[in-house]
Structure 1
């Protein structure tokens, strides 16, 4: 009966309220929803950060950016704006909503928003019975019984409605204009396809997931001695941090932090032979454009590794003061090996390059 009902739902609100990488890891599930009914429209409600990647995801027809107070975001709206959002959602007359969450997030605030918006059919994971707030709920068994990759988690959620897809990869549309602009920018700074180079995205929104700058410097110095040039990326707010690393690397490193649009960042990562980064949005962009990636991975979210792209995941411990206060999650801190030493990062780059 659930399958039959969903076959009539033509306008779906997908809710993913966190960041770029989280939106990307929900893409295959949105694709499954889209493919399961011809002509179905997908509207994404996401944060202002998550909205930046939406124009490059072909499954998304419309996006509503809003920073909610129950998710860590750059700007928090007040209660009047939240009520106005509920009214806006009500005016769209959605047939159903799907709430995408990681297992450490509570879906009930988003479910209450749907309730206020008059959306009758709501699908999502929840630990306890949410009754009419999520009237189509799946008991959340993560992380107590198992942990699956975030992409698989969301695919399982929509599969409960009969929505499946044979294409479970990530993908992004890279504007040709951006490809050409990045090719010109790389040539202008002496980066050529036939010479060894790589991209490094050293910054991250959460301090606990930031690999130590000195370790990145040591890894890059090893690679520079092998003939590599390094292009460092980052946002405007991260520019000073990235340029401090760049100065330590000399003329073989160039920072473009704060200089690229989202489209140009996607094009740069698509052009790069390898990306080195923390576990943050650019590694999922790399997965979407097929660029091999080396991840210095904080032991926080073991289900957020690069999806279906050549990769090497190297782990480092989070500083005690920055570790989660959630006792339920403290026992699920991830995997300790292999260690993310500078030598291991350089070796992983060499291995990925050799296997291309």
Structure 2
């Protein structure tokens, strides 16, 4: 059994696809299709045998132009994977149907995804979209609809291969104030209030961010959190 798992977003989205990937990997080989903005995370996921990178015109930003040779090329690439089933993982506001069409043109016999829109013959198993389901559970439900289950003892949480060990910091809560789309993020002041409230409740709070977010993490951490902005590798950040 060879399963193609597609998650064409950023690293954070790909990390949350991990439980679905592990469920599919429990039944056989997994090939992960992602954009270049998700490739770091893809390489860290347990159960992935191969990572295929493709920046698609309807999700990548800035979007590449739609060109006939490029579309023919990805269809040929997908055909060469020879997947038995494809899981198209999306956020609630995205449609799986453009990729489902390419997968069908590539001859994939079974395509499974969530879709608000009528899929016609593009999906073999369709789940209704639900914006209230957390991303990791949303993806895992797609895998289960395809007939996959997590292996015994797997708690279904996001995980990476060989996570770094925290430096004896004990239990902690992570606050990650940044987002790839600013409209999806809390305001810095609201994040800072959350850090203060968590610290006053007795939690050790780690504030994380990339190298270009150090001013943000410094403000959010304030006097109550540990500012790790720009101080971790991506693998360390994912491990936290």
TM-score with structure 1 length normalisation? 0.55
Runs of 4+ with >6 A deviation: 222-229
Cα separation, 1, equivalents of 2:238 and 2:87: 27
Q: Is the contact made by 1:202 and 1:213 (CA closer than 8 Å) also made in structure 2?
A: yes
Cα separation, 2, equivalents of 1:156 and 1:82: 29
Cα separation, 1, equivalents of 2:117 and 2:195: 48
Aligned-residue offset at 1:104: 2.6
Q: Deviations over 1:116-147 (max 9, x none)?
A: 4332332223345433322x13252636xxx5
Aligned ranges 1:24-39 → 2 under 5 Å = 24-35=15-26, 37=27
Aligned ranges 1:55-134 → 2 under 5 Å = 55-71=43-59, 73-80=60-67, 81-134=70-123
Structure 1 counterpart of 2:238: 266
Structure 2 counterpart of 1:281: none
Aligned ranges 1:118-267 → 2 under 5 Å = 118-134=107-123, 136-138=124-126, 140=128, 142=130, 147-165=132-150, 166=152, 167-173=154-160, 175=162, 178-179=164-165, 183=167, 193=169, 199-220=174-195, 231-245=206-220, 249=222, 255-267=227-239
Cα separation, 2, equivalents of 1:87 and 1:126: 25
Aligned-residue offset at 1:108: 1.0
Q: Deviations over 1:259-288 (max 9, x none)?
A: 321112134x2xxxxxxxxxxxxxxxxxxx
Unmatched 5+ stretches in structure 2: none
**Would you say 1:43 and 2:18 are equivalent positions?**
no
Aligned-residue offset at 1:18: 2.1
What secondary structure is seen at the aligned counterpart in 1 of 2:183? helix
The structure, 1 or 2, with the larger RCO (C-alpha pairs under 8 Å, 6+ apart) is 2
TM-score with structure 2 length normalisation? 0.77
Q: Is the contact made by 1:236 and 1:258 (CA closer than 8 Å) also made in structure 2?
A: yes
Cα RMSD, aligned residues only? 3.4
Cα separation, 1, equivalents of 2:198 and 2:33: 41
Aligned-residue offset at 1:99: 1.2
Larger Rg: 1
Aligned-residue offset at 1:50: 2.7
Unmatched 5+ stretches in structure 1: 1-9, 184-191, 270-356
Aligned-residue offset at 1:228: 7.9
Matched length: 236
Q: Is the contact made by 1:67 and 1:75 (CA closer than 8 Å) also made in structure 2?
A: no
Aligned ranges 1:277-316 → 2 under 5 Å = none
What secondary structure is seen at the aligned counterpart in 2 of 1:132? coil
